[in-house]
Structure 1
Amino acid sequence: MWFKNLKLYTLTQPLSLNEDDLQSMLAEQPFRPCGSQDTATMGWSAPLGQGDQLLHVADGRIWLTLKKQERLLPSTVVNAELADKVAAIEAETGAPVGKKAQQDLKQEIIHRLLPQAFTKNTFTHGFLSLKDNLVVVDASADGKAEAFLATLRKAIGSLPVVPMARRSIAPDLTLWLKGQGVPDNTELLEEAELRASGDDDSIVRCKNQDLGAPEILQHLEAGKLVHKLAIGWDETLTAMIEDDLGIKRLKFTDVIREQNDDIPKDQLAAKQDADFALMSGEIVRFALWLQQTFDLGADA
C-alpha cells in the first residue's frame, strides 16, 4: 500500500475529529456488496483490509479507504440481445418496434442479466493530517478524488477543503526547465510535456530526453509552457508534477522503502502500519515543501 498518485487539498479551517466519533460516523456509510439490481455500491472499508475498524491512525495521520463495487454488464451484450429480441418481435408482428418499446425491452434485459454480471472492486485510499491542515487522496483523476471527498463530507457533515494549488504552476515549472530557481534538493529528470499557450494547441512530449538540449529550449523560447515535469526530490521519491499540482507516477526510493524491511512478513498488520506511517510522513513533508516552494498559501 504505497500511494502512486496524489491529489492535495488544504483545509480552510481547522478540523477536530475524535477517533471514536469518526469511526461511528464512517460506520453509518460502510461498504456493502452490490445487490442483485445494484449497478454499483460505495462505502468505507477497513484500511488494513480486515475487521470493522474503518480508519487507521499513525503519528496523528488518519488513513481512510473508500471501496467501490461495480457490476460489469457490457453494453454490447445488452444491445446484441435487444437486437435479437426486436428482430423476433418484428418478424412475428410485421410491424417495427418503437423507441419507447425498445427502451422498455432494454430495461427488462438489464434487469434479467444484472444479477448474473461479474463484479469489480476498486479502492481509493486517502489520509488526513489535521495538524498540517492537509487532505491527501491517492487518485490520478479529479473525479475519483472528489468522490472520496464527497463521501467523507457526507459522513462527517463538513469538510472545508480546497485544492492546494488554485492556480497553474506551469510558469514555475517552465522557469525550472530554463534553469531558473530549481531548488537544491530537486533533480529534473528526462521527461516533460510542453504546451503552447493561447489558441495553439500544439503539444510536445519528451521522454528519455535531455531537457537542456537546444531543441527543448527553442520550444520554451517560442512560448511553450511546461505542463508536466518529472523530478527526483530529496533522494526520497520521484514523481511527475502536473500544472495543477497533481502528482502522478509517485515512486519512493529504496532509501525509504527498505526502512521497514526488518518487520517479519507474517506480521502483516504491523508492516502495513509502519509503511503507512513512513509513507504518509514523507508525503506530508513533500506536500508542505510544494506549498512553500510554489507559494501556495491560503490566498494563492
Structure 2
Amino acid sequence: MWFKHAHFYRVHDAEAIPLDVLEAALAEFAFRPVSPREARRVGWTTPAGKRSEVRVHEIQGHRLIAMLRQERLLPAAVVNEEVSERAEARELAEGQLLSRRERQLLKEQVLEELLPQAFTRSQRVELWWDTTHNLIGINASSRKRAEEVLDLLRQTLGSLKVTPLATKTPPGRGMTAWLSDPGQRPASLLLGDRVELRAAEDDGVIGARSVDLDSEEMQSLLEGGRQASKLSIGSEGQLRAVLHDDLALKSLQFDDALLDEASQTDNGDDPVVSLETDFALMTGALGTFVDQLIEWLGGEADPRTGLS
C-alpha cells in the first residue's frame, strides 16, 4: 500500500480522538455501493481489503484510513448523441425547434434513463494521519480528489481545521534556485533528471526527462526567466519523487532497501500484518522526507492563516 502520490495538510486545533471513537465514526459513514440512480458515492472502507473489518490502523501515532469512491461511467458524447437524436425526432414531429429549456429537460430525461445502465468504476484513496505531528498525507493524484477525502473526514468528525502544508520559500522559487545555483542546493538533496519549466508571460511549458539539469541549455532557459514548476528530487535511503509547485509529491519511488525489508517480513499471509508493516516503513521514510523538504524550503509558513 505504498503511496504513489502525496498531498500534505497541516491539522490545527485537533483534539486527540480515541481509536474506538474514530472507528465508530468511520462506520457511520461506511461505503455503500452506488445506487442505480446515483452518479457517484463515497464512504470509508477497510484499508486492508475485504478480508479485514478494521477501518483504521494505528502504528505509533500514525493512523491509516481509506475512502472508497464509486462512480457511474456515462460518457458525455453518448448522452449528447442520444439527446440530439431525440430532439431532432421531436422537432420533425412538432414542426418547430426545441427551446433551450426543452433541450435541458430532454437531457435530464436521457441521463435518468441511461444512468442505471452505466458501468461503475471504484477507486480507493488512502489517508495517513500523523497525530503526533498533526500532519495529514493523502495518496491522491490530484488536489481535487484529496479535498474530496478531507470533505468526507470533516463530515465524519463534525469539523476538521486543516490548511495545505506551506513553506516560507514557495516550492517553485526553491526549485528554480536549486537549478540556477548549485551552491544553494542542500547537501542532502538529490536531484533527478526530470523537470518542467514555465514561462510567466505566456504560460508556456517546457517539460524534459532524462536531461542534465546543469547543462548550458537548462541554464539558458532559467536565465530567460523560466521558473521550475516540477522537479524530480530525492534523499538517500528514503525515496525519490517529483516535487510540484503546490508542494505535492508525485511518482513516489521508495528506496529499494525499504521495499526489500517489507518483502522479507514474515507476515504469515495476514493482510493486516502486511499492510501495517508497509505502512510503518512508508511513514517513517515519508515523514522524514517531509521534514527535510520543509527545511530545504526555509521552514514552514505561518499556519494561522487560511484555515478551511
Identify the TM-score tier after normalising by the shorter chain: over 0.9
Contact map agreement 1:140 1:246 (CA 8 A) in 2: no
Output aligned runs, 1:101-180, within 5 Å. Answer: 101-165=102-166, 168-177=170-179, 178-180=181-183
Instruction: Return the match for 1:268 from 264, 268, 271.
Output: 271
The SS at the match of 1:148 is: helix
Aligned length: 299
| Matches of 2:195 and 2:143, distance apart in 1 | 21
The SS at the match of 2:182 is: coil
The SS at the match of 1:131 is: coil
Shift of 1:259: 0.3
| Matches of 1:196 and 1:92, distance apart in 2 | 55
Contact map agreement 1:15 1:130 (CA 8 A) in 2: no
Distance change >3 Å, CA 99–CA 133, structure 1 → 2:
same
CA-to-aligned-CA distance 1:73-127 (integer Å, 9 cap, x gap): 1222222222222232233333333332332222222212211111011111111
Structure 1 residue 187 corresponds to structure 2 residue 190: yes
| Matches of 1:133 and 1:39, distance apart in 2 | 34
| Matches of 1:44 and 1:24, distance apart in 2 | 11
Shift of 1:298: 5.0
Contact map agreement 1:12 1:298 (CA 8 A) in 2: no
| Matches of 1:119 and 1:200, distance apart in 2 | 40
Distance change >3 Å, CA 264–CA 19, structure 1 → 2:
closer
| Matches of 1:154 and 1:223, distance apart in 2 | 44
The corresponding residue for 1:25 is: 25
Q: Which amino acid is 1:66 matched to? A: M
Output aligned runs, 1:209-220, within 5 Å. Answer: 209-220=211-222
Aligned-pair identity in percent equals 33
Q: Which amino acid is 2:110 matched to? A: I
Distance change >3 Å, CA 87–CA 14, structure 1 → 2:
closer
The corresponding residue for 2:242 is: 240
Q: Which amino acid is 2:126 matched to? A: H
The SS at the match of 2:3 is: coil
Contact map agreement 2:242 2:251 (CA 8 A) in 1: yes
Distance change >3 Å, CA 223–CA 103, structure 1 → 2:
closer
Distance change >3 Å, CA 195–CA 49, structure 1 → 2:
same
The corresponding residue for 1:62 is: 63
| Matches of 1:243 and 1:87, distance apart in 2 | 48
C-alpha root-mean-square deviation of aligned residues, in Å?
Answer: 1.9
| Matches of 1:52 and 1:293, distance apart in 2 | 40
Q: Which amino acid is 1:25 matched to? A: A
Output aligned runs, 1:11-22, within 5 Å. Answer: 11-22=11-22
Where does structure 1 lack aligned partners over 5 or more consecutive residues? none
Shift of 1:166: 5.5
Contact map agreement 1:8 1:287 (CA 8 A) in 2: no
Distance change >3 Å, CA 101–CA 225, structure 1 → 2:
closer
Shift of 1:267: 2.8
Instruction: Return the match for 1:250 from 252, 257, 282.
Output: 252
State TM-score, norm by structure 1.
0.92
| Matches of 2:206 and 2:74, distance apart in 1 | 38
Contact map agreement 2:11 2:134 (CA 8 A) in 1: yes
State TM-score, norm by structure 2.
0.90
CA-to-aligned-CA distance 1:30-61 (integer Å, 9 cap, x gap): 11111111011111111111244221112221
Distance change >3 Å, CA 298–CA 21, structure 1 → 2:
farther
User: Which deviates more from structure 2 when the two are superposed, residues 286-295 or residues 252-261?
Assistant: 286-295
Structure 1 residue 37 corresponds to structure 2 residue 37: yes
Structure 1 residue 208 corresponds to structure 2 residue 245: no
User: Which deviates more from structure 2 when the two are superposed, residues 89-98 or residues 268-277?
Assistant: 89-98
Distance change >3 Å, CA 78–CA 223, structure 1 → 2:
closer
Shift of 1:160: 1.8
The SS at the match of 2:287 is: helix
Output aligned runs, 1:272-291, within 5 Å. Answer: 272-291=275-294
| Matches of 2:114 and 2:198, distance apart in 1 | 46
Distance change >3 Å, CA 170–CA 87, structure 1 → 2:
closer
Q: Which amino acid is 2:155 matched to? A: K
Distance change >3 Å, CA 95–CA 174, structure 1 → 2:
closer
Shift of 1:13: 3.0
The corresponding residue for 2:300 is: 297
